[in-house]
Structure 1
Amino acid sequence: MSAGAALEPARDAGLQAERTALAWNRSAAALLIDALLLLRAGYLAESAPVLGLAVALLGMSSALIVLARRRRRQLLRADGPRLASRWAIGAMAASAVTACVGAIAAIGERVTQ
């Protein structure tokens, strides 16, 4: 064992799991806020497509909040964290894409008015 290896601190895997759990929660909360802002923009612009995207994003973000809580429990379990399922990552990605499409639609509605 070299002297350099003895000076390195032990790796704490618990902090990484906590940061990951917080990132899932932040992402779900950000999508919920985006859905509410999109809902407001659609209502004020009286735009059915924007309102439709907002309602879809609201449902997706609500499901992601539940998923984030479940993921947090998985990450902080005593037997160690598991990898996120493909559908969970896909759901988060689909929600982000829906949020982007909704924002573009809301901007497009505002420009055409």
Structure 2
Amino acid sequence: MSAYRVPATGDPGLQPERTALAWGRTSLAIAVNALLSLRTGLVLGEPSLVAIGALLFAAAGGAVAIGAVRRVQLSGAELTITPPAWALPGVAAATVLASVGGIASVLVEGSA
């Protein structure tokens, strides 16, 4: 999928700011899940949860990077409407990983 670009016409409104804030919230949510997985893994001695937490921290960094790229794309003289091709599958994978980490931490803590 190629990037779809349109010329910026006057005031783009608040859409670019909302997009940047949404990516920031997404990265924060992923980072919180990473902390919870790491804490549970370290307290209970579960290396799999520690690994999930580390992967989630990397995913949070990726979400921050996507947010920075989108902020630049939406603030220039030409707006790039299409996000990077890897952005949406990456966020979907991070969401699945966060869900697996949350479920695993509940199951591990419940059986301990």
- TM-score for the superposition, normalised by structure 1: 0.82
- CA drift of 1:63 comes to 2.0
Partner of 1:7: none
Answer yes or no: is the 8 Å Cα contact 2:19–2:70 preserved in 1: no
Instruction: Return the structure number with greater strand share.
Output: 2
Partner of 1:110: 109
Aligned equivalents of 1:28 and 1:89: distance in 2? Answer: 13
Does structure 1 residue 17 correspond to structure 2 residue 16? yes
Answer yes or no: is the 8 Å Cα contact 1:25–1:69 preserved in 2: no
- TM-score for the superposition, normalised by structure 2: 0.82
Stretches of structure 1 that go unaligned for 5 or more consecutive residues are: 1-11
Partner of 2:59: 60
Partner of 2:92: 93
Relative contact order: is structure 1 or structure 2 higher (C-alpha 8 Å, sep ≥ 6)?
2
Partner of 1:47: 46
Instruction: Return the structure number with greater helix share.
Output: 1
Q: Find the structure with the greater CA-based Rg.
A: 1
Runs of 4+ off more than 2 Å? none
- CA drift of 1:30 comes to 1.4
Task: Count matched residues.
Answer: 102
Answer yes or no: is the 8 Å Cα contact 1:21–1:68 preserved in 2: yes
**RMSD, aligned α-carbons:** 1.4
